[in-house]
Amino acid sequence: MRHTLPIAPQFYVTAPQPCPYLEGRSERKLFTALQGDSAEKLNDALSKQGFRRSQNVLYRPSCAECTGCLSARIRVADFSPSRSQRRTLKRNADLRREATSPWATEDQYALFRRYLDSRHADGGMADMDIFEFAAMIEETPVKSRVVEYTAPADDGDRRKLTAVCLTDVLDDGLSMVYSFYDPERINDSLGTYIILDHVEIARRAGLPYVYLGYWVPGSRKMGYKAGFGALEIYKSGRWQDIGDPGHHSSETHPLSVDPIAEQVARIALPEARPTTPRR
């Protein structure tokens, strides 16, 4: 006789912290550990419900009065680049892609530091040292890849690391965990290029979605994601087409967020592998 039991992780809530996206707001996260033999199944299942991975933790915003952070993904089969996005592809035609195992290098960290110092000097990752960076890249209990993009070096001797994306491979798509790039190529829209290239990777692999992380109405940091076609957002417990981005609001309301216990109760968990009881 065989039977299965659902994977039953424990969920926790962080203490309120200043919101990195909307000034004057506080953020709070619902999270659970990602570990053990069922890590990939849990990552797959919760990613479909608006969760994101950070090392060995899965989290989803659960702020007290705000539902502004909306998980976003691109439907690969329906996506077609805009005119400006096609220009971005042409501008970056010199880049060469290589997908490797999740292993941190000194070149990656040097590029990461230049990127942070130029674009996010006051952000939460600004003080990250090389050991913390290595942990971000390497501490993954799921199928992950580091996608590196290199350009011809000025001396022509070797290629120059220009952009990097830490990417999870889900059962239904690619999840872009974190990306960074050469801040000196400011006019090349490298962040957009990395997303466009991941759409192509997913298309070739037969994967239906590319997960972009959170889109936040009213946030200048996250506004660019709404510029991609075939974009879906996870809102009110389901994936739906974004439609007109202007119709979505990040206004606060004391009744906009359900109690944590109700949120956890509605999370659909995967089943563990079938087991055979001892005789």
Answer yes or no: is pLDDT of 273 > 90: no
pLDDT at res. 23: 87
7: confidence class by pLDDT, cuts 50, 70, 90: low
For residues 65 and 178, give the distance between their C-alpha atoms in angstroms, rounded to a whole number.
27
Of the pLDDT bands very low, low, confident and very high (cuts 50, 70, 90), residue 3 is very low
More confident residue, 236 or 250: 236
**How far apart are alpha carbons 138 and 132 in whole angstroms?**
10
Alpha helices in the chain (DSSP H): 39-47, 83-91, 106-119, 130-138, 190-205, 260-265
Task: Find the mean pLDDT for residues 254-269.
Answer: 87
pLDDT tens profile 167-183: 999 999 999 999 999 99
Distance between CA 53 and CA 40 in Å, rounded? Answer: 11
Whether residue 1 is predicted with pLDDT greater than 60 in this model: the reply is no
CA 114-120-122 angle, 5° bins: 120
How far apart are the C-alpha atoms of 70 and 163, rounded to whole Å? 26
Please check the confidence at residue 244 and state whether its pLDDT lies above 70: yes
Q: Which two tokens stand for residue 124?
A: 């939460």
Q: What is the pLDDT of residues 150-170, one digit of tens each?
A: 999 877 678 999 999 999 999
DSSP string for residues in 72-98: EEEEGGG----HHHHHHHHHTTT-EEE
From the list 137, 124, 142, 134, the residue with the least C-alpha distance to 47 is 142
Q: How far is CA 260 from CA 5, 97, 257, 264, 268, in A?
A: 23, 42, 9, 6, 15
DSSP secondary structure letter of residue 182: -
End-to-end CA distance of the chain: 10
Looking at residue 196, its amino acid is: L
**Using one digit for the tens of pLDDT, what is the confidence trace for 187-232?**
999 999 999 999 999 999 999 999 999 999 888 888 899 999 999 9
The pair of structure tokens assigned to 77 is: 């089969």
**Across residues 37-56, what is the average pLDDT?**
95
Residue 195 contacts residue 222 (beta carbons within 8 Å):
no
Give the residue among 212, 243, 211, 239 at the shortest CA–CA distance from 225: 212
Predicted pLDDT of residue 2: 47
Given a cut of 90, whether residue 139 has pLDDT beyond it is yes
Where are the alpha helices (H) located in 140-182, listed in sequence order? none
Q: Domains of the chain (ranges plus CATH)?
A: 72-237 (3.40.630.30)
Query: Distance between CA 90 and CA 224 in Å, rounded?
Result: 19
- pLDDT for 239 equals 97
The partner residues of 275 in beta bridges, in order of sequence, read: 3
Whether 5 has a pLDDT exceeding 60, the answer reads no
Q: Is residue 121 pLDDT above 70, yes or no? A: no
| CB 213, CB 73: distance < 8 Å | no
The Cα–Cα gap between 70 and 232 comes to 9
